[in-house]
Amino acid sequence: MKIAVLGLGMWGFCLARLLALNGHRVVGWSIEKEMLARLQKGEDHPSLKRSSRGLSLDYTPSLEEAIMESDLIVESVTTRGLRQVLQTTKGFLPALQKPLVLTSKGIEQKSYLPTPLIVTDVFGKEAQPFVALISGPSFAAEVSRGLPTAVVCGAWSEELCSCVIDVFSSKTFRVYPNKDICGVALGGALKNVVAIACGVAHGLQLGTGAVAALITRGLHEIVKFISSQGCDWKTVYGLSGLGDLYLTCSSSESRNFRFGELLSAGLSRQEAEKEVGMVVEGAYTCRAAVEIAHREGIVMPIAEAVFDILEGSLGVKDCVDRLMLRSVKEEHL
């Protein structure tokens, strides 16, 4: 297939590499001119060592060229930038009539929409059969090294889901189907918020017990949240929920976990994001998640604590005290 990969950050390039190795013709698009120039010369991706060896990839600065000449589109531009890219695409592709595979993990601010619903908000509900999403426990560096990875594909269409599985699957990259596309999307988005909290706890040297508690109670918050949005709560216990949550909350290789560590060291939100050097989706998603929770009457103390840290209204140690001193209730699961 001819596949366009939109966004050549660490994860976007990793997927472009995977698809090329699977035998597909891949063209990468990015607004970062220096990145494109580097990759066009055959140099490695700046965040992935030895990543360009033996690859045959094409690159273009033209979004229209990338999309119109493709059979399938893979998105990796961040949740914040997704709507703008879709609106630009609609200018030369009024109806979405080719598969679009989303990989960004977040909830859009103001609209409060997960990524699949951003697509249907721009292109209309008739775009549903063409929208899929890949999510799950995966680090770009590990996937690029050919280490075993399992993820999930969410889609409204079973036919499209089967197509995506065929396109992405390899002997080291396994893809499972899931009909609950919005549940898959929300699990991937919300685990990033919990990962920030775990990074803070790790940075403060609160111990592995504290991190384990945050993961467990964070999982409970995610279940309550996606249930309120009409999704299947059981999705949270799959790869896009529990699997991704465990991975993201237990390693400094996770940008959200690393971001939390930096916040615990006293860096401001802006300073921590600059130090991470990549988009921190959990920091963007947190506001939307907390505002939805307030609207739905859902109690999410971990997400609220992260939000207060990000807003600068409460220090990291004060947030820990607030969480530990909350009134004790029965452990509902």
Task: Name the residue with tokens 């009909």.
Answer: 179
Please state which of the ranges 47-61, 87-101, 137-151 shows the lowest mean pLDDT: 47-61
Mean pLDDT over 314-331 rounds to: 81
> Which residues have CB under 8 Å from 72's CB, separation 6+?
1, 2, 3, 4, 98, 99, 100, 101, 163, 167
**Where residue 42 falls among pLDDT bands split at 50, 70, 90?**
confident
Together in a domain, 163 and 122? yes
Mean pLDDT over 149-166 rounds to: 98
Residue 332, pLDDT > 70, answer: no
User: Considering only CA atoms, which of 6, 14, 19, 30 is closest in space to residue 86?
Assistant: 6
Together in a domain, 227 and 168? no
User: Considering only CA atoms, which of 62, 305, 329 is closest in space to residue 200?
Assistant: 305
Please state which of the ranges 151-155, 232-236, 315-319 shows the lowest mean pLDDT: 315-319
The last residue of one of the domains, among 153, 179, 205, is 179
Task: Supply angle C-alpha 93, 30, 273, rounded to 5.
Answer: 120
**Where residue 323 falls among pLDDT bands split at 50, 70, 90?**
confident
Q: Report the mean per-residue pLDDT for the chain.
A: 94
The last residue of one of the domains, among 156, 179, 202, is 179
Together in a domain, 118 and 165? yes
Residue 236, pLDDT > 90, answer: yes
Together in a domain, 162 and 233? no
The per-residue pLDDT for 317 is 84
Together in a domain, 44 and 116? yes
Tens of pLDDT, residue by residue over 106-123, are 999 999 999 999 999 999
* C-alpha to C-alpha distance for 79 and 93, rounded to whole angstroms: 20
216 found inside a domain: yes
- Residue 159: exposure state from Cβ atoms within 10 A (0-12, 13-18, ≥19): exposed
Residue 110's identity, in one-letter code, is K
- Long-range contacts of range 251-255, CB-CB < 8 Å, 24 or more positions apart? 251/139, 252/199, 253/139, 253/141, 254/139, 254/195, 254/199, 255/279, 255/280
Structure tokens at 114: 């997960």
Residue 82, pLDDT > 80, answer: yes
Residue 235, pLDDT > 80, answer: yes
The per-residue pLDDT for 333 is 62
* C-alpha to C-alpha distance for 307 and 194, rounded to whole angstroms: 11
Tens of pLDDT, residue by residue over 298-307, are 999 999 999 9
The per-residue pLDDT for 321 is 83
333 found inside a domain: no
* C-alpha to C-alpha distance for 252 and 274, rounded to whole angstroms: 16
* C-alpha to C-alpha distance for 116 and 59, rounded to whole angstroms: 26
Together in a domain, 174 and 188? no
User: Considering only CA atoms, which of 282, 324, 277 is closest in space to residue 306?
Assistant: 282
Together in a domain, 72 and 207? no
Mean pLDDT over 93-98 rounds to: 95
Together in a domain, 290 and 262? yes
Q: Residue 163: which CATH number?
A: 3.40.50.720
Range of the domain at 304: 184-324
The per-residue pLDDT for 282 is 96
Would you list the DSSP string of 104-131?
---B-TTT--BHHHHHHHHH-GGGGGGE
The per-residue pLDDT for 46 is 86
Provide the percentage of residues in the chain whose pLDDT is more than 90.
84
**pTM, 2 dp:** 0.95
What are the residue ranges of helices labelled H in 146-238?
158-168, 181-203, 208-228
Report, in this order, helix, strand and coil percent for the chain, each rounded to 5.
55, 10, 35
Q: Which residues are catalytic?
A: 191
Tens of pLDDT, residue by residue over 249-264, are 989 899 999 999 999 9
Domain count, the chain: 2
Together in a domain, 195 and 298? yes
Mean pLDDT over 39-58 rounds to: 81
211 found inside a domain: yes
How is residue 243 annotated by DSSP?
A: I
φ/ψ (deg, to 5) at 214: -65, -40
Q: At what angle do helices 281-296 and 301-311 cross, to 10 degrees?
A: 120
Together in a domain, 174 and 273? no
Tens of pLDDT, residue by residue over 175-228, are 999 999 999 999 999 999 999 999 999 999 999 999 999 999 999 999 999 999
The last residue of one of the domains, among 179, 214, 233, is 179
101 found inside a domain: yes
Residue 173's identity, in one-letter code, is F
Chain centroid, CA 14 distance in Å: 14
Together in a domain, 156 and 189? no
332 found inside a domain: no
219 found inside a domain: yes
Together in a domain, 202 and 170? no
Report helix, strand or coil for 167: helix
- Residue 105: exposure state from Cβ atoms within 10 A (0-12, 13-18, ≥19): buried
Residue 52, pLDDT > 80, answer: no
Dihedral, 155, 156, 157, 160 alpha carbons, nearest 10: -20
Residue 314, pLDDT > 90, answer: no
The per-residue pLDDT for 54 is 66
Q: Residue 203: which CATH number?
A: 1.10.1040.10
315 found inside a domain: yes
210 found inside a domain: yes
* C-alpha to C-alpha distance for 254 and 188, rounded to whole angstroms: 13
Provide the percentage of residues in the chain whose pLDDT is more than 70.
98
Q: How far apart are the first and last CA of the chain?
A: 44
